[in-house]
Structure 1
Amino acid sequence: MFSTRLDRERLADLGAAAAERLLRAGVDLVALSFVDNSGISRVKAVPAGKLASVAAWGVGASNSFDFFLATDSIASGAHSLGPVGDLRLHPDLDALTVLAAQPGWAWAPAWRYDQDGRAHPQDSRALTAAAVGQLAERGLSVRAAFELEWVVTDPDEVPVPGPAYGYARLSRHHDYLRKLVSALDSQRAEVEQIHPEYAAGQFELSVAAADPVRAADLAVLTKETVRRVSEACGLRASFTPKFQPGGVGNGGHVHLSLWHGDQPLCSAGNGPFQLTPAGEAFGAGILRRLPALLAVGAPSVISYLRLTPHHWAGVFTAWGCENRETQLRLIRGAAGQRSTAANWEVKCFDLTANPYLVLAGLIFAGLAGIDAEERLPPPIDVDPGSLSPDEAAAAGVVRLPTSLPDSIAAFEADDVLPKAFGEELGTTLLDVRRAEAAELGALPDAELCRVMRWLH
């Protein structure tokens, strides 16, 4: 669990016990990872036998990682110290996982502290924990999950063949998919479903919902497991939002359900589609702030190649029940399961995003909706892109930002998110986004796809 103060003696004892378990299991090394503001998982590794010292005192990592772009260029910014300064990575031993696809290795997500043991203000995992704390203060909780989409290619970067959603693609790669699900299962990542998707070579995997910090951890762990199992099977996995111009993109849809104790708030109410007032307000807060949230959940120049109408990417300010063209989709589930299955799905995000920032942003937006007792506009039950200009205007339906600079402007203008993220993180996030826009924004689509294809 995250703490603003480190109990080093207790952490050393926990680390020693964990090291003993790992060494008995044949684990030699532990990867400690965090996700930077560009959505890249950065890592330091330590011998398993050193885990007691590492748990108590951490491992050094430059604070300049806050300013890294996905291309490994380093942005400047208001809070940059350049080469000066250091942070400490402390493994979350509660999330320590033996890696099935990397024999002899374990993994733990890391908390970031400064040299004096103070929490780092740009620790995105800590921000998610803070958002969860704000929910708890209101007697609320969220369960969340990510859908991961990726394109599988042969070593020559040719996507594997087979029809969209087709059994032929699944049967051709049955052993690959079996090994992937087996690895995830042994790592306590409960797979809900896996199937071929629309694009050439594309697959989608969903894991079971968990508390938000754990859900973001699982997104990180699942991506790296997909990557490693693919390589072991002679394949390559790309999570880029757009593998090639004109093709269908990879999304990173997010599912959230709101709870008060064991009472579900996305069902069993008297609002639209049986939403409770709190469940509706939570969704309304997210819907209102999705233009600003794109700077968090669609954070790359290439994200906006994916966000095109009529591709089930959710590019209009609209919500609907089971409507795959709305950016915010209420999923009710089958009759008889709706009390526990109902949830909100956000469709306009992708996997270049930092999952911790995504969930923190969605929670802050939803809480703002609850605090303001916001209500949803009428749902849209058609493709919003098919509405005439007059129909769209009457329904309040407009396009989401169509470029990264436009999303940056929406985030800056928002009345909730910059303050919730904190001045240092919020400012740095936009510094990094502007640097990426400057570096990559003028590239032709084909070149942009080539540059970004294997980075995330």
Structure 2
Amino acid sequence: MDHTQQAMARLTSAGVRGIALTWVDNAGITRVKTVPTARLKETVRNGVGMSPVFDVYLVDDSMTDSPHVGGPDGDLRLVPDLDRLTVLAGQPGWAWAPVDRFQASRAPYPGCQRRFARRQMERAFEEFELELLMGFETEWVVGDGATTGRGPAYGMARLVELSDYLGELVEALGAQGVAPLQLHPEYAVGQFEVSVAPANPVAAADLAVLVRETVRAVSTRNGLPASFAPMAGTEGLGNGRHLHLSLWRDGKNLCRGGDGPFGMTADCEAFLAGVYRELPALMALGAPSPASYLRLRPSRWAGAYHCWGLENREAALRFVTGSPDDLGAANAEVKSFDGAANPYLVVGGVLAAGLAGLREELTLPVPVTGDPAHQPGQRRLPAELPEATRALADSAVLAEAMGEELLGAVVAVRRAEAELFAAAGPEELVVATRDRY
């Protein structure tokens, strides 16, 4: 029995009727096509057809165009990754798999964001024998954002109020083979965060999709709307989707045991210095919505300043040494990213930036302690989407890594969404994006 037949037998025995095949577009929306379980073998062999025009869809489902993508012509094939095939505990009768997108000839599609992430992961090993572990934190607001989860921030009262719902979520994640590290109430009313065990970069992006859709499914089954948007309301803090990463070679964590800042090895420092340098451009990938910049306000732990520091939650790039007896704990966190982002673009972009830092043997500037908003001379990251988009369009590092087809589509979507919401006030912008992600 081959791999596909084994998968079909497993799905059939689990009562799975259909499989959701997902990809994430350049606006950060998870799009889907489904197939009956009985068609899995044919789907793996031939893929499922889909127009490339979705690469220039905006958050409101309108379309723009780019130099290489747009209009009614063309076709792609969606091919599921059977290694990631998962029976969905929150959606009985369904399974899920992420797809790679190919041209109709089965040649690789240069606009495939998942392929972009995989290519950068492979480059890290081929050039530097580096393996990376990454993990996203998923934040969301449950309920109406006003009357659900109104207890104190991080308070036990919120857990008690929604303990059945949250317990069902933990159970669903575990049944899907996802290992939650922690789940807790966050700062805003009705806001929670879950983090899961790290994985290789492509798998981490896959998990970001799976975790979100599991939260959405469990929330829906409990009659609770869930918002992953950068801002679910005009007041308070927004939803981040921070990225944690560590570098490994031959089983050794390169984020500790070195002579660099706070014990970093030279390779770790160079990689993080590359990420640091490209942060303004990376904002167009990790904070991709006009609404993202309502969240990125100083003194809100959102990472609004172009700085880094040790355990500094106001810095865009936060370094964590971890416990001395926990060899895997040392890592870095990029705090400026949010739930509007395509996670494959995020991990691919961060990898490309870090690899450029390694090639150029970059070093980090002086770390910042305390709140940079209260320190003269500290530079803000882009304060609005057009500024971040210009930085992305001007980045030679990301242009080389992404290629003209993918970069052109992303830049076109960013510019079109900035124009779409140019006249919108904060409340109108929040209402328009709150339930889209």
Shorter-chain TM-score tier: over 0.9
Code of the aligned partner of 1:355:
P
Aligned to 1:46: 35
Gapped runs of 5+ residues in structure 1?
A: 1-11
For 1:357, the equivalent position in structure 2 comes to 345
Structure 1: how far apart are the matches of 2:169 and 2:421?
33
Shift of 1:81: 4.0
- Please tell me whether the aligned partners of residues 172 and 214 of structure 2 are also in contact (alpha carbons under 8 angstroms): yes
SS in 1 for 2:79: strand
**In the alignment, is the contact (CA less than 8 A) between 1:144 and 1:215 conserved in 2?**
yes
1:178 maps to which residue?
167
Counterpart among 376, 400, 406 of residue 419 in structure 1: 400
SS in 2 for 1:352: coil
Aligned to 1:9: none
d(CA) in 2 for partners of 1:159 and 1:178?
16
CA contact 1:364–1:416 (8 Å) conserved in 2:
yes
Distance in 2 (CA, whole Å) between partners of 1:378 and 1:105 is 50
> Which aligned pairs between 1:90-109 and structure 2 lie closer than 5 A?
90-109=79-98
Which position in structure 1 is the counterpart of 2:205? Answer: 216
Q: Equivalent residue for 1:401?
A: 382
Aligned: 1:235 with 2:230 = no
Q: Is contact 1:157-1:236 (8 Å) kept?
A: no
1:84 aligns with 2:65: no
Whole-angstrom CA distance in 2 between matches of 1:379 and 1:64: 43
Provide the rounded CA distance (Å) in 2 between the counterparts of 1:80 and 1:427.
8
CA distance in 1, matches of 2:39, 2:266: 50
Contact kept, 8 Å, 2:56 with 2:70, in 1: the verdict is: no
**Take 1:120 and 1:157, find their aligned partners in 2: how far apart are those partners?**
44
Matched, 1:436 2:417: yes
TM-score where L is the length of structure 2: 0.98
Q: 1:80: how far off?
A: 2.5
Q: How does 1:31-430 map to 2 (within 5 A)?
A: 31-137=20-126, 138-154=128-144, 158-337=147-326, 339-388=327-376, 392=377, 397-430=378-411
Q: Residue 15 of structure 1 contacts residue 53 of structure 1 at CA under 8 Å; is this kept in 2?
A: no
Find the aligned partners of 2:151 and 2:198 in 1 and give their Cα distance. 30
Over the matched positions of the two proteins, sequence identity in percent amounts to: 50
Partner Cα separation in structure 2 for residue 308 and residue 32 of structure 1: 36
Cα distance between partner residues in 2 of 1:80 and 1:34: 17
Deviations 1:3-49 (A, max 9, x none): xxxxxxxxx94323311221111111001000000111100000001
Supply the AA of the counterpart residue of 2:332.
Answer: W
**SS of structure 2 residue aligned to 1:335:** coil
Q: How far did 1:188 drift? A: 1.2
Tell me how far 1:70 sits from its aligned partner: 1.2
Structure 1: distance between partners of 2:275 and 2:285: 13
RMSD after superposition: 1.2
* 8 A Cα contact 2:69 2:405, kept in partner: no
Shift of 1:408: 0.7
1:111 is displaced (CA, Å) by 0.7
Gaps spanning 5+ residues in structure 2: where? Answer: none
Stretches of 4+ aligned residues off by more than 6 angstroms: none
Deviation per CA, 1:280-313, whole angstroms, max 9, x where unpaired? 1111110111000001000011000000000000
Q: Secondary structure at the match of 1:348?
A: coil
Equivalent residues, number: 436
Q: Indicate if the aligned counterparts of 2:149 and 2:161 stay in contact, CA closer than 8 A.
A: no
Normalised by the size of structure 1, how large is the TM-score? 0.94
The Cα offsets for residues 33-74 of structure 1, whole Å up to 9 and x where unpaired, read as 000001111000000011110000001111111111111011
